[in-house]
Homo-oligomer: A and B are copies of this chain.
């Protein structure tokens, strides 16, 4: 059989659900957006690429969904790189500084050397001022009260106005755009074309949809995941939620302690925790425990599994 006879002419894979929203912006924050400009491939492209690797022998055994779930579960990541998406986003520079740390994407950003900066800054409503978390140095917890919030938003408006005035004064005085921009606030919006393959996009979403991601970038990530990837590659999105976003990893020590608990070896579990430093060497049931971040993480997992926390159980004795 000749090479020519072996292959038929192809049509490009399309996704009607995604075509339906192509170019349409999803609003994010007060003046930001995400919209899809173009894409390459779909769930079937992942299967197709995987089957090149696995050859024809396995063709009939798997169905598409099963194969995609297998690939996701076992971190066979290269087939997911065979899909690509291009977004047009509008984001505060502060958020963009986090976004751009993902180095595996292609980027064209709006240039404030060439053009006048976008005349919009991300404004904080009075009820959106978040308080510093006490337990977590990088998080926030709860909101400022109404009076404080209003005062902060007013001060913000004053600062935004002065910053924009100073920027405009410089431009009017003939100062180069590349220098005039130097004191724009980080809240100033920027725009970019951002192109990334599906594997790296999922990695971005795993980190930026997580609870400890900053609230602002989480809004963007959630839209990209729930509105865009879900439409684009629904089988992959389902597998991602099951095996990545909502999966939990247990360390060697955690597995050891859980094994002991499921067969009722409470003392042995405590001994493991002492040996690995989760509990003090002189641990006594009922004693006050110093904070230990890894132990607290384990306790949360045990609670989630419905298992007793052995040192608390011990305390209760």
Contacts and interface: CB of A to CB of B under 8 A. Distances in A.
Interface in A161-190: 162-163, 166, 169-170, 173-179, 181-187
Given A12-B38, A24-B9, A195-B81, A176 B130 contact: yes
A55 B116 contact: yes
- Please state the number of chain copies in the assembly: 4
A93 interface: yes
A135 interface: no
A304 B86 CA distance: 43
B182 A186 contact: yes
B248 A114 contact: no
A106 B129 contact: no
A110 B152 contact: no
Contacts of A35: 7
Interface stretch (A226-234, A250-258, A281-289): A250-258
Contacts of A97: 93, 97
A124 B179 contact: yes
B248 A249 contact: yes
A122 to B, nearest CB: 7
A132 B54 contact: no
Given A94-B182, A259-B306, 17 more contacts: A10-B22, A12-B38, A53-B110, A54-B115, A58-B114, A79-B108, A111-B138, A131-B176, A140-B176, A159-B163, A178-B214, A183-B185, A184-B185, A186-B186, A241-B252, A255-B304, A258-B305
29 contacts: A12-B22, A12-B38, A49-B108, A52-B88, A52-B110, A52-B191, A53-B109, A53-B114, A57-B116, A58-B114, A69-B294, A82-B193, A93-B186, A101-B107, A113-B214, A131-B176, A138-B177, A152-B170, A156-B183, A159-B183, A163-B183, A182-B187, A183-B185, A183-B187, A241-B252, A243-B251, A250-B250, A259-B305, A262-B307
